[in-house]
Structure 1
Amino acid sequence: MPRISFITPLDQPSGSKRLLDILRTGLKDPHFNQLRIVTAYAKSGPLLRLKSDIETWLASGNSLCAILGIDQQGTSKEALTIAADLCKELYITRENGITFHPKIYLFDGPKHAKIIIGSNNLTVGGTETNFESSVILDLVLPDDDSIYTDLDTMWNKLLPHSCVATKAFEQKLLDELVANGAVLSELDKQARAKLTGNYPAAPRTGLIRKPASPLPISIMKSPKSNATAIMGQPQSSQQVVAGLIIQIKPHHNGEIFLSKIAVLQNPSFFGWPFKGSTIPKKVGNPAYPQRTPDPVVNINVYGSTTTPTLTLSNYKLNMVYYSTKEEIRITASPLVSQVPEYSIMVMMHGNSVGIDYEISIYRPDSPQYTYWLVACNQSMPGGGKKARKFGWF
């Protein structure tokens, strides 16, 4: 009989059990030599977080195969491109009038198999932060051959020779799907969701939630030595980024220094390069590059309770690049009395028209603070009693 366990709806938000961790563990388990994935939606986030583990898995002679649905524009261009590089076999399936909606993850080897079947798509939400539920079956072969055979048959029936809706992945096919709007880039998907009001909002409930794991440092841009030259050049967007996590130290005048390293890693997140200029208060003082118009933000500050201690709605956030010191600063004077040093600021793209960013700030006394601190996987050089940290998710 198989060993049966579950991912229950509260497991992933709390961080007690997540599909991403189960997949990572399976990729390191010597009992398995193949992973097959069938999922309705796929995004770049889980694939980038697992990329190093998958590459090690493949280098050991193991294989990864996947069947991805593209209905409802749920699978992104980036996910298909990354999966094509990692998969021994990659298939896309779509049948007009029928939504492809299964979520199945199948590890197998000569004597063991593990199957996760449930609601988890191959997205950051599906693998880490959403309310999801799944059944996990651990099989020992040949004792559980009857169950394994049914799952293996399921996979084979979805392959192109048996299912006319499934096609082997080709770059030409992806180009056609992108051209006709069936597959979107993740930036385009976010932009459309924002226009329709269907963009995920910043957390405001009392539930204590563990954030998604940070994006690996290796996939972010490496900062160069000549910051001014690089920051003056438009760079390609980091479509995979949902938000920035950064420890902050508000100054008495309301200024908050951002990380120059973070800005260099992902200029587009901050709207860099800035097009406007400051107006010096004194004649003869230099003007500095300024983001214009000021980004409009919603800010919620969290302390010892799970409800905000301060809320600023539609706040105009001054954002300036002080080129002499190569620093980007934002100014929010109301935060000075409310936010102690080393609080964590979580900055996400706005979820409605007219809002550029949703900002949540977690003070050190917040129950969420430790979770967000763990997600800061990079350090800034120097700067006070201890180096500030930041990360991307």
Structure 2
Amino acid sequence: MNNIEILVPDLPESVADATVITWHKKQGDFVYRDEILVEIETDKVILEIPASIDGILKIDVKEGTIVLSKQHLGSIKPTDQKNNFKDKKNDVSIDTEVKTDKFSSPTVRRMIAEHDLNLHKEDIKGTGVGGRLTRKDINKILISKTIENKDNDNNISLNESNNRVEKRVSMTRLRKRIAERLLESKKTTAMLTTFNEVNMSPIKELRKKYGEIFEERYGIRLGFMSFYVKAVVEALKRYPEINASIDGDDIVYYNYFDISIAVSTPRGLVTPVLRDADKISMANLEKEIKKLALKGRDSKLTIEEMTGGSFTITNGGIFGSLMSTPIINLPQSSILGMHAIKDRPMVVNGKIEILPMMYLALSYDHCLIDGRESVGFLNVIKNMLEDPARMLLEI
């Protein structure tokens, strides 16, 4: 039987090329069908390429190489002579457990490969869930090795006189792409930000009253994001200019509501999309948001889940941000920033009360959206959140 080629998968039109970041097997290793052989990174996602058959691996493209769609990476020589190699379940059980369980994060695996760490020699112990390694664990090991060996290389440099440590690493393709898009957004839009504030007492009381019942029935916690998404959808229905974008000399109005949700991941900020958010229930919104966040954390988001979107919500409040001016996610025309909920003294009916308040920030392209629409849009969201019954009645 002829050798079976290992090829780069079909890359979407929006992705020009990819980088080979990690080979999980070595030249001449026996590999099993469906075992992950190599990871390649695009400017949006990490793609895993599995073995199509059992056999002996031949690697033809080194880590760090830029590759194109359908490019040859290596091959597998079909063979049944498994006895000539280490038994998967016995001889390499420890090594397999280390690679697949404790080091399952692509980011961690890439760091281990980049710095050529000996997993057993270093006696690495993870501080993450289930003993998993985190980036902090790897950074501590690298710094420790540098101090002990006083050895400077391309990644770690040490000032021996005062033990000041510096680390130099290459930017990931995703981080480079994020930087390019942010700079493009600043250069090509007349971006302006307007603010408002929301009394979150009604939402907090709803969650307190129905939170347990909601979780028992749907198996998911009732958070804030589902309320934000519902309020945004209702506001977009009333202000179609904000659910639009500029394409050359044309304005494209979207008659659907695909909401991008900014998610922080180890590789950088990504914006997976909630398709047809107006047709999704509160419970399913919470489930979908959680699923996308977990897939983002584990670098499992697909190209389809990352593309599209007519409006973006970013919630810096989960990190404690009190106020910010978010940058527009091109080609969209606006982005809504949610922030931390803080108790503040407010004047209500001539009296001072302590209320849980949150700032809203809408950044928008003034080339398309005027102040009247932006302020009206924020007022709708404010009214929806301060009186949640409006979302149910759509008033």
The TM-score normalised by the length of structure 1 is: 0.29
| Rg (Cα) greater in structure | 2
